[in-house]
Amino acid sequence: MQPQDTAIPDIIPDLQRAVRTALAEDLGSGDITAQLIPAARDARARVITREDCTVCGRAWVDEVFRQLDPALQLTWHCEDGEQVKADTVLFELAGNARAILTGERTALNFLQTLSGTATTAAAFAARTAGTDIRILDTRKTIPGLRSAQKYAVLCGGCHNHRIGLYDAFLIKENHIAAAGGIGSAIEQARRIAPEALVEVEVESLEELRQALDGGAEVIMLDEFSDADTRAALDLARGRAKIEISGSVDRQRLQQLAGLDVDYISSGSLTKHLRAIDLSLRIDL
């Protein structure tokens, strides 16, 4: 089992919950501005991206308008994971004007955030194209949008690390200290969940040797120099997968692409995203 082999749980319950929460915080007691429009008036609208991006979030947009008015008709002109140019029409809407305008901001918030995540992931993936390195996300996600952002990472061409605290061990410095050492921590992990992946974060070559002796499947090198990384790869070859983490931005990623590591993990995929600039245009 490898970090990116962990499948995202069914995202539909998370999706529906996230949309309900987002609509509730925006609607409150009701959309008073939408009441300016006659209740029976229909309209058409289109959503356009103002910049190049990798699209992600169709299901969240669909769910926003489904919860507001199931009779609204959405016509999509792109797929999740598709790279589109600025001024592309992403989708069109037809139906009740009040429902379209009430759902506009919530729908675009999901779409701009998840497309921003996917676009960032696509930029990271491009820097390791042609290598066997897999770029992994982390748990540094927007609260309440864990499964959504991890889905967006996949749409951008990168891979998922563990989904949460429940599906794999990641033994870090504080765990090691509290558990009585690397060997002891690994031994206890095997007793607690024998089938779960065991990964250990190490800060030196000596700790790497301890993790290898303990039988960790994946070893994360935290802030290793390139020279120590090469030494670690030699020590671990055939015994464990090597993951690089710590201060991995796009520039550092390009430098690391020449090293024969298995994984590079970066919180930047989900926490340093920039939302995509989108616009809804309505025709009454």
Domain CATH number, residue 183: 3.20.20.70
55 and 78 Cβ atoms separated by less than 8 Å? yes
79 shares a domain with 43: yes
Q: How confident is the model at residue 256 (pLDDT cuts 50, 70, 90)?
A: confident
Higher pLDDT, 209 or 258: 209
Q: Is 105 among the catalytic positions? A: yes
| Whole-angstrom distance, CA of residue 266 vs CA of residue 135 | 8
To the query of whether residue 140 is one of the catalytic residues in this protein, the response is yes
For residue 222, indicate whether it is catalytic.
Answer: yes
Per the rule left: phi > 0, alpha: psi between -120 and 50, beta: everything else, 94 is: beta
What rounded mean pLDDT belongs to the chain?
93
Candidates 105, 237, 274, 281; catalytic one:
105
pLDDT-based confidence at residue 12 (cuts at 50, 70, 90):
confident
Asked if 90 and 167 sit in the same domain, the reply is no
Residues 7 and 100 in one domain: yes
211 Cβ contact list (under 8 Å, min separation 6):
182, 186, 200, 202, 219, 240
pLDDT classification of 9: cutoffs 50, 70, 90: low
134 flagged as catalytic: no
User: Residue 25 catalytic?
Assistant: no
Q: What per-residue confidence (pLDDT) applies to 284?
A: 76
Structural domain span for residue 216 = 127-271
Give dist(CA 94, CA 233) in Å, integer: 57
pLDDT confidence of residue 29: 96
Residue 145 and residue 235 in one domain: yes
Average pLDDT over residues 197-205: 97
240 in the same domain as 149? yes
Q: How many domains does the chain have?
A: 2
